[in-house]
Amino acid sequence: MALIQYKIWKKKGFTLIELLVVIAIIGLLSSIVLASLNSARAKTMDVKRLASLKQVQLALELYFDQYGFYPGPSGIWQNDCNPPLGGQGNWETTLASLQPFISVLPHEPRYPNNPDPWCFFYAKDIVLDCGGLSPRPYILVFSVEQNTYSLPIHNNFMGALARYCLMP
């Protein structure tokens, strides 16, 4: 009788090995899911960066159509870094004149705690090697987390990682 009860009791539970295998499989699957979520998050932020600067680019062109020049001082980089990088202007004050053409001035998705290199940059009447050294009326520069765009890249912009350029 005791032998029969022991066999029945033994078949009711899982062994330690079986439990450890299941926990290892769950851990492996969760790490794969988290890695793909981080990749998707990075792609989302890159798309948001590009879309935001395309809006600014459109507002700059509308501003130029109305006034005949682009806003801001010539040759000085404006950025939305927090705080603005030394010796440079502030994105908000320089591009505030775009308000009639854009409802909200976009910021880098990591704003307001966005240290360099995660900032947007704008410069008017500047020469920068973004697919050629010819003078540009303006340049918008931004960093990405994944190199998936076919835009001009400037690799030495202020000593940071590769940044993309938007120009007229």
- The model's pLDDT over 46-64, given as tens digits with 9 standing for 90+, comes to 888 888 888 888 998 899 8
Specify if 145 maps to a domain: yes
Q: In the chain, which stretches have pLDDT less than 50? A: 159-160
Specify if 5 maps to a domain: no
pLDDT at residue 83 in the model: 59
pLDDT at residue 148 in the model: 63
pLDDT at residue 27 in the model: 94
Specify if 30 maps to a domain: yes
pLDDT at residue 127 in the model: 66
Long-range contacts of 54-62 (CB under 8 A, 24+ apart): 54/166, 55/102, 55/106, 56/95, 56/98, 56/102, 56/105, 56/106, 56/120, 56/122, 56/140, 57/140, 57/166, 57/168, 58/101, 58/102, 59/98, 59/101, 59/102, 60/98, 60/138, 60/168, 61/168, 62/101
Specify if 10 maps to a domain: no
pLDDT at residue 29 in the model: 93
Q: Classify residue 46 by its DSSP letter.
A: H
Specify if 59 maps to a domain: yes
pLDDT at residue 111 in the model: 63
Specify if 146 maps to a domain: yes
Q: How many domains does the chain have?
A: 1
Q: Name the residue range of residue 122's domain.
A: 16-166
Specify if 89 maps to a domain: yes
pLDDT at residue 147 in the model: 65
Specify if 101 maps to a domain: yes
pLDDT at residue 28 in the model: 93
